[in-house]
Structure 1
Amino acid sequence: MTITADETVATDARSDAPASRYPEYDFSRPAQLDRESIRHLEAGFEAFARLWSAQLTAKVRVRAHLALERVELVSYEEYAETLPVTTAMVVAGLAGREEPCVVQFGLDSALLWVVQMMGGRSTSLPAARTFTPIELALVRHLMDDTFEHLHAGMDGLLPAEPRFSAVHYNPQYMQVISATAAVIVARYSLRLGDAETTATVMIPASVVADRLAATGADAAGAHTPAHTVEQVRSTPLEVTLRLAPLTIGAGEVLDLAPGDLLRLPHPETKPYELVAGDTRIALATPGSRGSRLTCLITTTSEETH
């Protein structure tokens, strides 16, 4: 059997390079969130955003809107580095836990809330500064309801309702948790009337880890063997009809030219191998149906064992 060098010959199925199929793994940040956990957290933080928006609209008497931008798992140090040098970090403790939760927003936003709650009218954000005792009392009253909404929105992920603890103004110097501790951060865009700003919510990962794991276990339990079989059957698989290989020297390859003939060591009466990757799954003979090339399965791998 012969074949000309300028004809196209089927080659073995080759998988894509691993780097193109899998994201890079950051060994400096080994903690990761699976997709089910991210979806659960996003649903909770979006529910909180709706509740907090309604609360601000009612209390501040200006239409407020919060939009969840993303949820991420980072260290507390990384989170603190993304915050302004001066901001409002409202800390709340959890019963039976040392790690606190944090709701952070700009001081200018909070001062606008105070102006509105006191009956004033303002269309722009005031200059940022720390709170006076009266302003702090108003913000604390507002945040008591906010933490209640956070507990309700997270739908059981938090072990208890957060309770107001303190307000810190400098995230770089006031460390409310270990710098290397893993924290879950929800980042929001906040629009209050015509003013636009940002806000964040920080929850220590250790606080919700057990409940997220339980949620993942419930989801895994719902996955039956029948689902696995269905997924395997629907997975695309590239197969190749392969002749017996021919080994030649590198010099012969370099001397090849159009019109040269290569004699392949495959008998005409011997079936070809049908392979997936490097695994033989059947023997087959080539054929055609109309303008399409086909192969006829003659023996499967199970029949040869």
Structure 2
Amino acid sequence: MSISVEENPMTAAAALHDPAGRYPAYDFSRPAQLGRESTRHLEAAFESFARLWSSQLTAKVRVRAHLSLEGVELVSYEEYAATLPGTTAMVTGSFADRDEPCVVQFGLDSALLWVVQMMGGRSTSLPEARTFTPIELALVRNLMDGTFEHLHASLGGLLPGEPRFAAVHYNPQYMQVISAAAAVIVARYTMRLGETETTATVMLPASAVVDRLAATGSDASAVHSAQHTLDQVRSTPLEVTLRLAPLTIGAGQVLDLAPGDLLRLPHPETTPYELVAGGTHLARATPGSRGSRLTFRITTTHEETI
């Protein structure tokens, strides 16, 4: 019996040294990324919002609603808009003293189903998507006022204030309230309304959230002070050396050294030694002993003069 072995031309060693195999491609058009702790913080906040929004829809629309968070990401608005349908409901919420809004997005067919249910109708399927009539817009606005309250309650200090209903946009490509290259934080949801399943998203301007998100990090609770800095400096390990005056000899003399040779040091017996740390002279000290260990006693310290 014969066994044939086919060798892979890309060996493990070659793959290890192949830059394309070792390092993932880096997208310089999107240098900003969310840290792991920041992502977990946002996910917890957006999951809390999902529970509140589900309860609101269930109570107002009278259809059991459930939202599950699919993920949170940091992208440009252009990338976010490219993932949305050409026609959809994008409800913007404005913040006081800020130009960039937040957005709660959902399908027009989902919103029309909400309207049918709120008006006392019954529907087991999503109606055909279309823009809102004035009456439908008023009902959706009333519903979204509560939704923005839940968003503010869930994200709390991550938002620059409580968002207020501003407008409804139907085309994400033509929404001119934020630039295409602006970084945004997007939470994506799967929304179940009775027997139907759709999607929804929440978009927040990164410029309004990232700084507040960093301020809530694990190290943000520690109040920085000069005393903390001093304590860190005092506890830093530092190697010190007790040094005699140096002796200069020729290279040939060094090569001729042998066991038993004596070298006369230029350091006087009564002169203290130099205490040195990292090449910096700290003090003068005299050697001594305590039990079986060598010691030294500080005699004078060097003071810097400006």
Give the structure-2-normalised TM-score.
0.65
Partner of 1:29: 30
Helix, strand or coil at the partner of 1:156: helix
Partner of 1:135: 136
Q: How does 1:115-264 map to 2 (within 5 A)?
A: 115-216=116-217, 218=219
Q: What is the CA-CA distance between 1:213 and the residue it aligns to?
A: 1.4
Are the equivalent residues in 1 in contact too, given 2:99–2:177 (CA < 8 A)? no
- Alignment deviations for residues 172-207 of structure 1 (CA, whole Å, 9 cap, x no partner): 122220110000000100000011100000000001
Partner of 2:75: 74
**In 1, Cα distance between equivalents of 2:124 and 2:171:** 27
**In 2, Cα distance between equivalents of 1:119 and 1:191:** 20
Q: What is the CA-CA distance between 1:19 and the residue it aligns to?
A: 6.0
Q: What is the CA-CA distance between 1:85 and the residue it aligns to?
A: 0.6
Q: What is the CA-CA distance between 1:95 and the residue it aligns to?
A: 1.2
Q: Which residue identity lines up with residue 197 of structure 2 in the other structure? A: E
**In 2, Cα distance between equivalents of 1:50 and 1:21:** 41
**In 2, Cα distance between equivalents of 1:133 and 1:89:** 16
The 1:21–1:219 alpha-carbon spacing in structure 2 relative to 1, beyond 3 Å, is farther
Q: Which residue identity lines up with residue 150 of structure 1 in the other structure? A: L
Q: What is the CA-CA distance between 1:27 and the residue it aligns to?
A: 1.2
Helix, strand or coil at the partner of 2:173: coil
Helix, strand or coil at the partner of 2:190: strand
Which segment drifts farther, 66-75 or 17-26? 17-26
**In 2, Cα distance between equivalents of 1:103 and 1:194:** 22
Partner of 2:48: 47
Q: Which residue identity lines up with residue 107 of structure 1 in the other structure? A: L
**Identical residues among aligned pairs (%):** 81
Q: Which residue identity lines up with residue 132 of structure 2 in the other structure? A: F
**In 1, Cα distance between equivalents of 2:27 and 2:83:** 19
Partner of 2:87: 86
Are the equivalent residues in 1 in contact too, given 2:52–2:150 (CA < 8 A)? yes
**In 1, Cα distance between equivalents of 2:22 and 2:44:** 28
Q: What is the CA-CA distance between 1:221 and the residue it aligns to?
A: 5.0
Q: Which residue identity lines up with residue 54 of structure 2 in the other structure? A: S
- Alignment deviations for residues 133-152 of structure 1 (CA, whole Å, 9 cap, x no partner): 00000000000000000011
Partner of 1:99: 100
User: Which one has more relative contact order, counting CA pairs under 8 Å at least 6 apart?
Assistant: 1
**In 2, Cα distance between equivalents of 1:39 and 1:181:** 22
Q: Which residue identity lines up with residue 183 of structure 2 in the other structure? A: A
Q: What is the CA-CA distance between 1:25 and the residue it aligns to?
A: 2.3
Q: What is the CA-CA distance between 1:161 and the residue it aligns to?
A: 0.8
Q: Paired residues, what number? A: 210
Are the equivalent residues in 1 in contact too, given 2:74–2:186 (CA < 8 A)? yes
Q: What is the CA-CA distance between 1:155 and the residue it aligns to?
A: 2.9
Q: What is the CA-CA distance between 1:156 and the residue it aligns to?
A: 1.7
**In 2, Cα distance between equivalents of 1:134 and 1:123:** 22
- Alignment deviations for residues 247-298 of structure 1 (CA, whole Å, 9 cap, x no partner): xxxxxxxxxxxxxxxxxxxxxxxxxxxxxxxxxxxxxxxxxxxxxxxxxxxx
**In 2, Cα distance between equivalents of 1:154 and 1:220:** 18
**In 2, Cα distance between equivalents of 1:219 and 1:159:** 18
Helix, strand or coil at the partner of 1:189: strand
State the structure with more CA Rg: 2
Helix, strand or coil at the partner of 2:174: coil
Partner of 1:241: none
Which runs of 5 or more structure 2 residues have no equivalent in the other structure? 1-15, 224-306
Partner of 1:61: 62
Q: What is the CA-CA distance between 1:66 and the residue it aligns to?
A: 0.4
**In 1, Cα distance between equivalents of 2:179 and 2:31:** 17
**In 2, Cα distance between equivalents of 1:24 and 1:218:** 31
Give the structure-1-normalised TM-score.
0.65
Q: What is the CA-CA distance between 1:100 and the residue it aligns to?
A: 0.3
Q: What is the CA-CA distance between 1:21 and the residue it aligns to?
A: 6.2
Q: What is the CA-CA distance between 1:20 and the residue it aligns to?
A: 5.7
Are the equivalent residues in 1 in contact too, given 2:190–2:197 (CA < 8 A)? yes
Helix, strand or coil at the partner of 1:218: coil
Partner of 2:262: none
Which runs of 5 or more structure 1 residues have no equivalent in the other structure? 1-15, 223-305
Helix, strand or coil at the partner of 1:45: helix
